[in-house]
Amino acid sequence: MSQPTADRLPQAWLAAAVGRLPEGVAVFDGDWTIRYTNPAAARLLGARTAELAGGSLWIALPEVAGSVFHSFLLHARTVGTPVTWRGFYAPAGRWLSATAEIVDDLLQVCFREAANLPTEGPGEAADGPVSEDADHDRLRFLAEVSEALITTLDRGESAGQLAELAVRRLADWAIVALLGEDGGPGEEAWAHRDPARRADVDTYITGRLRGTGDDAAMVDALLTGEPVQITTIDQERVAPSLPTEELRAAWRRLDATSCLIVPLRARGETFGVLALMNAGARPPHTEMEIATAVEVARRGALALDNARLYGRQQKVAETLQRSLLTPPPQPDHLQIAVRYRPASAHALVGGDFYDAFAQPDGATLLVVGDVAGHSVEAAAAMSQLRSTVRTLAYDRPDSPAQTLTRVDRVLTGLCFGTLATALVARIEQPVQQARAGLRTLRWSSAGHLPPLLLHPNGAVELLDSRPERLLGAGEPVVRSDHEVILQPGDTVLLITDGLVEHGRLDIDTGLARLTDVLGELAGVGVNELCDRLLERIVLGRADDDIALLAVRCHRESEA
């Protein structure tokens, strides 16, 4: 039928003719909305209803996701020419032969049921059939990729895992190259299936010269968002990037003969590539291997982008938090040291904070606190709480209990919306105490850990008191002040629970451990004391944020 003749036919007649075809016809837009399917398509794909148009492919046919047919569709979307696939479609339990191409930004797919095609062993042929066992093996591999990549939110670790997973099935060696936030070169990760050749990959990647022209295919993949296959490596194009004999020898041993470069794309942005390198007698990637690589890259890109967004959130929160944790003052005859260490186990900062400042009446105010949660929101709530305590305490130098009462009233009135612990302490020195070199530590706790008092002889007192309600509970509570006399040489330590509970210890056990370690550090300076506490207690990654504040009382003659 010529095009002019087809144009003269009524649309209803054409639709009816397509609807009567024994072959399936399906049309999808860029968001994978089903624009059209004929009854044969719905039947062949195992749909529960014939009315699929207007719905999302992944909702109308969830069993397609992860199947070999899924990868075929993804691959067809990325190339500009028709793509053909023949294989076993597991969700419907039948063999299909399908062809897909992009027409006017729509993906048009035609497919029909095929006879039970013979297999060609465990591998996948270029345009040949895939056995049911091979398809199931592929699905297991893709499931393994997804499971492995959701175990971390560290972008570098995710990139390394993606490279390791790729060489298990898709290449002899692989490179994951990511763009930086500024669009320039970013993190890289690589792997080789042969442990004996991994050192050669290290030598090549770290020593090669950039910008010599051998990365044109990678640039094409980044710009177009489509896979680029190089069936034969041009050694003359690679040579300028190898300035030393060591590099040239490593490249020869890697024996790259062909490669496939698949863009890493998520949420509408291409931010890297997965380069799959074949070596020696291994042939160039087949259509099915390309389809599988596209699906692996899709899953890897989503995991990498999640890690990138998570890291960006972490950086924003940590920058906010550190901007608020200002250096402490150094009042006469007092030395104050502070430390803050963000949690690394979950790669998010939380609401731990410290503060120290001089009040108008000459007293030194000390504060530590912990807002519930680990997120940008927790860091923002921490900044609100810290500012509230600082403002109210400076405006009216009340006792710590009175300050916490006012803070609680303000937080309730402003709908703070979260719980927090806090300990407010004042170091006071009336005239009569100054003559004797003594000071008074007065404190009040809103559900926070007690202060610790280290004496020069190594004795440690846990300044415990009856627990009182957390801030933000929304109920009035009578708060109490507690006090102790500080002698010259005494050290007061205020902490958050990340230091005590590190290693999944309960609070009592953690406080006992801290008391033992603190008693052994009586003779060291206050800054060294803070560092050595962290070194000896926080082994490995921190489970939670840690804030600590230490104050050493010096003799008047030591000022």
Domain boundary among 315, 334, 352: 315
Q: What is the pLDDT of residue 4?
A: 53
Is 306 in the same domain as 347? no
Q: What percent of the chain has pLDDT over 70?
A: 87
| Residue 116, pLDDT above cutoff 70 | no
pLDDT confidence tier of residue 127, bands split at 50, 70 and 90 = very low
Q: What is the pLDDT of residue 481?
A: 97
Is 508 in the same domain as 546? yes
107 torsion bin: left (phi>0), alpha (psi -120 to 50), beta (else) = beta
| Residue 128, pLDDT above cutoff 50 | no
Domain assignment present for 26: yes
Domain assignment present for 446: yes
Closest CA to 490 of 408, 414, 402, 553: 553
Domain assignment present for 292: yes
Q: What is the pLDDT of residue 451?
A: 97
Domain assignment present for 141: no
Domain assignment present for 126: no
CA–CA distance, 367 with 348 (Å, rounded to integer): 23
Is 401 in the same domain as 261? no
Is 75 in the same domain as 202? no
Domain boundary among 117, 133, 158: 117
Number of domains in the chain: 3
Is 475 in the same domain as 420? yes
Residue pLDDT, tens place only, 312-362: 776 766 676 666 667 888 887 899 999 988 776 444 556 788 999 999 999
* DSSP labels, 156-217: HHHHHHHHHHHHHHT-SEEEEEEE-TTSSEEEEEEEESSGGGHHHHHHHHHHSPSSSSTTHH
Is 280 in the same domain as 329? no
Stretch 453-457: mean pLDDT, rounded? 96
Is 294 in the same domain as 336? no
Is 200 in the same domain as 59? no
**CATH for 443:** 3.60.40.10
Domain boundary among 315, 350, 368: 315
Phi, psi (degrees; rounded to nearest 5) at 191: -155, 155
Closest CA to 541 of 341, 376, 320, 351: 341
Domain assignment present for 480: yes
Q: What is the pLDDT of residue 375?
A: 66
Is 305 in the same domain as 341? no
Domain assignment present for 534: yes
CA–CA distance, 399 with 95 (Å, rounded to integer): 80
Residue pLDDT, tens place only, 52-92: 888 888 778 877 766 778 778 887 877 778 888 887 787 77
For the chain, the maximum distance between any two Cα atoms, rounded to a whole number of angstroms, is 110
Q: What is the pLDDT of residue 317?
A: 63
Closest CA to 176 of 77, 303, 90: 303
Q: Cβ distance 324 to 353 under 8 Å?
A: yes
Q: What is the pLDDT of residue 415?
A: 85
| Residue 377, pLDDT above cutoff 80 | no
Domain assignment present for 296: yes
Stretch 359-370: mean pLDDT, rounded? 94
Is 416 in the same domain as 520? yes
Is 173 in the same domain as 235? yes
pTM: 0.53
**CATH for 203:** 3.30.450.40
| Residue 130, pLDDT above cutoff 90 | no
Q: What is the pLDDT of residue 167?
A: 92
Is 272 in the same domain as 339? no
CA–CA distance, 249 with 245 (Å, rounded to integer): 6
**CATH for 113:** 3.30.450.20
Stretch 132-144: mean pLDDT, rounded? 69
Q: Report which residue type is found at 92.
A: A
Print the domain residue range for 464. Answer: 325-558
Q: What angle do CA 543, 544, 550 make, to 5 degrees?
A: 120
